[in-house]
Amino acid sequence: DPARGQVLSDTCMGCHGMDGNSPTPDYPKLGGQHADYLEHSLQAYRSSDRSGSPTTDLMASQAKGLTDQQIADIAAYLSAAE
């Protein structure tokens, strides 16, 4: 549900910008990315299967408390945002 995803993505906007459009190259642009990619990425951060970036720990802590449905909702919102 993109509407629920918008509410849940408030925390994301702190680094990734409004509608997932990062104002700085330090954080990737999430708006308009494929929903499957966003879901897979968040699930990998949540399970600690994704590593190697300077923000891995931050992303893992953000994703840890998300359910599969919440991840899907965030991905639905951000994939539609541009």
pLDDT value at position 52? Answer: 73
| pTM: predicted TM-score of the whole model, two decimal places | 0.89
Alpha-carbon gap, residue 80 to 82, rounded angstroms: 7
Residues of the chain below pLDDT 70: none
pLDDT value at position 68? Answer: 96
pLDDT value at position 40? Answer: 95
pLDDT value at position 51? Answer: 74
> Which of 30-67 are b and which e, b meaning 16 or more Cβ less than 10 Å from the residue's Cβ?
bbebebeebbebbbbbbeeebeeeeeeeebbebbeebe
For the segment 38-61, what is each residue's pLDDT rounded down to a tens digit? 999 999 999 988 877 777 888 888
Please report which helix (H) or strand (E) contains residue 80, including its range. helix 68-80
pLDDT value at position 55? Answer: 78
